[in-house]
Amino acid sequence: IVQEGALAPLAHLLGSDDVEILREVVACLSNLAVSDENKYEIVKAGTVAALISLSQSSDMIVSAQSCATLANLAELKSNQEAIANEGAIRPTIAVMRSKYI
């Protein structure tokens, strides 16, 4: 999927207003982010800001999958600074304090 150039369209779909689309896209990115080969490419595709925003979604599936994706991406040391620089720390703490966790 990554090698065939699907990251740009997936990153674009992170801006959708359709919750079903967001659920599918974030789940797909979360699965792709399990592979070390994809982690850097997903961050490079400009997904981090949208994932941080979606981690605050009122839809618990979107929120949970966004958090899982960010966690997977942060396993790659070179991504950690980029994720922190996008402002992930405070929203992550807010999610952890959520009554749904």
Say what the pLDDT of residue 89 is: 79
Say what the pLDDT of residue 68 is: 92
CA distance 80 to 75: 8
Q: What does the block give as tokens for 57?
A: 């979604």
Residue 33 lies in a domain: yes
Q: What is the mean pLDDT of the chain?
A: 91
DSSP, collapsed to helix, strand or coil, labels residue 72 as helix
Residue 2 lies in a domain: no
Residue 78 lies in a domain: yes
Residue 72 lies in a domain: yes
Say what the pLDDT of residue 92 is: 75
Say what the pLDDT of residue 6 is: 92
Radius of gyration of the chain (CA): 12
Side chain identity at residue 16, one-letter code: S
In CATH, what number is assigned to the domain containing residue 89?
A: 1.25.10.10
User: 70 with 34: CB under 8 angstroms?
Assistant: no
Residue 1 lies in a domain: no
Count of domains observed in the chain: 1
Say what the pLDDT of residue 93 is: 76
Residue 99 has pLDDT above 90, yes or no: no
pLDDT band at 61 (very low <50, low <70, confident <90, very high): very high
Residue 81 lies in a domain: yes
Structural domain of 67: 7-97
Side chain identity at residue 78, one-letter code: S
Is this structure's pTM higher than 0.85?
yes
Residue 68 lies in a domain: yes
Cα within 13 Å of Cα(67), Cβ side = 19
CA distance 79 to 83: 6
